[in-house]
Copies of this chain bind each other. A is one copy, B any other.
Amino acid sequence: MAMNEKVKQKFIETWGAMGSLWGINTSVARVHALLMVSEKPLGLDDISEELKISRGNASMCLKELRNWGVIKKARETGDRRDFYLSEDDVWTMFIRIVRERKRRELDPAVDSVRKVLAESKDDGSDPKVKARFSQMNEMLETMNSLAEAFLKSDEDAKAALSLLSNMVKMRD
């Protein structure tokens, strides 16, 4: 019991710290971790109590996790409360997180550089600056195509990852 709690706690804090390194709010990551190791679906109060965060904060974290697509709502008959479950497959989870990060981090950058490049096309501005923009654009477009191909579906992504992983293992 005590041991269970200790390792569970460690899992939650480890995942929280990882989230923080990855630009994900620590509370969001802790809520996610709690749901990942929970035997049964948890409600807002369970989460708020267990992690010692306000109900308001817990609600925001759940909203965020729903946006990431890594948790599921599960209502029980005769109960008005919402309960939440974590997506079960770690790889699916990983891919969804990468997909959401692409949407937040790469897409706006691609858009922004595309736009400035188009605007400055024939305006006689410094060739070095234009060349830089053009290189940036090419790089971002390449990364974008790669990411889109890889992330097309959860299944494709899992297959690609497994293939790459085996290629790497093989070489050793």
Contacts and interface: CB of A to CB of B under 8 A. Distances in A.
A15 B140 CA distance: 12
Interface stretch (A45-53, A56-64, A68-76, A142-150): A142-150
A149 B166 CA distance: 12
A166 to B, nearest CB: 10
Nearest to A94: B139
A38 B149 CA distance: 35
B8 A129 contact: yes
Interface string A159-172: 00100110011010
Contacts of A125: 3-4, 6-8
A83 interface: no
B165 A145 contact: yes
Copies in the complex: 2
A7 B120 CA distance: 7
Contacts of A168: 145-146, 149
Contacts of A128: 37, 39
A135 B7 contact: no
Interface in A1-52: 3-4, 6-8, 10-11, 14-15, 17-18, 21-23, 36-37, 39
Contacts of A11: 116, 129, 132-133
Interface of A: 3-4, 6-8, 10-11, 14-15, 17-18, 21-23, 36-37, 39, 90-91, 94, 104-105, 108-109, 112-113, 116, 120, 123-126, 128-130, 132-133, 135-136, 138-139, 142, 145-146, 149, 161, 164-165, 168-169, 171
